[in-house]
Amino acid sequence: MSSARRARPGWLRKNTAALLSLVVAVPLAGWWTTRSDYKSWYDAEPRDAVTVAAGGTEYQGATWYAASVEVDPQPARKNAVPSTLPSGTTRVRVYLRMQVADLKNLEKLSGCQVHLRAPDGRIWDESILEDDFQDRPTGCTGGYDDKPASYRDPKIAPYFLKPVAGKPFEAVAIFIVPESVAASVEPTITWATKLPEYLAFPR
């Protein structure tokens, strides 16, 4: 008497459920990862401008005033020997003016990042290598000099170097940008805690 061997189900048949779950899970995982990465990038991209008005704008506990921009400025320090720039680039010096009613509000300004933004969307960060062109303190929390003027002529800029409650003070930022955009770039300031907003200073 011969006994017929029962056919075993094939590998594909045995693993159909697992394969179907992979077909669903892999694209879903890819979509979720891509979505998460995109959201992180999108949330960290400065895109919502808070434009500073001519008469001043309240933001981050301070009043911000129009910035002034100098293309190809002269060094602030006598006998300075500036570093050679890459071909086709130039320096841009930006003066930022702000005022706080209470010096405690300066804590909200810490962590600021100053940038230049071109009309085509390109952004340049402040250069910290151009000390010979710094004729005011850098950063949004002010300076260290009790005198009302330092390197810069007080007739041109009657702003305090050291923050004083209720009085405007001034900081400076230096950039190296292509000559082709130097006349059109606009200063901006970002805070990691405020993104995607950014403070914009129209020229």
pLDDT band at 127 (very low <50, low <70, confident <90, very high): confident
Q: Please tell me the predicted confidence (pLDDT) of residue 128.
A: 78
Stronger pLDDT, 20 or 34, i.e. the higher one: 20
Which residue in 96, 99, 186, 105 sits closest to 137, CA to CA?
Answer: 96
Mean pLDDT over all residues of the chain?
A: 84
**DSSP3 helix / strand / coil % (the chain, rounded to 5):** 20, 30, 50
More confident residue, 10 or 45: 45
Question: Alpha-carbon distance 161 to 170, whole Å?
Answer: 6
Single-letter code of the amino acid located at 95:
Y
Q: Which residue has the tokens 């394969």?
A: 19
pTM for this prediction? 0.76
Q: What is the pLDDT of residues 107-117, one digit of tens each?
A: 999 999 999 99
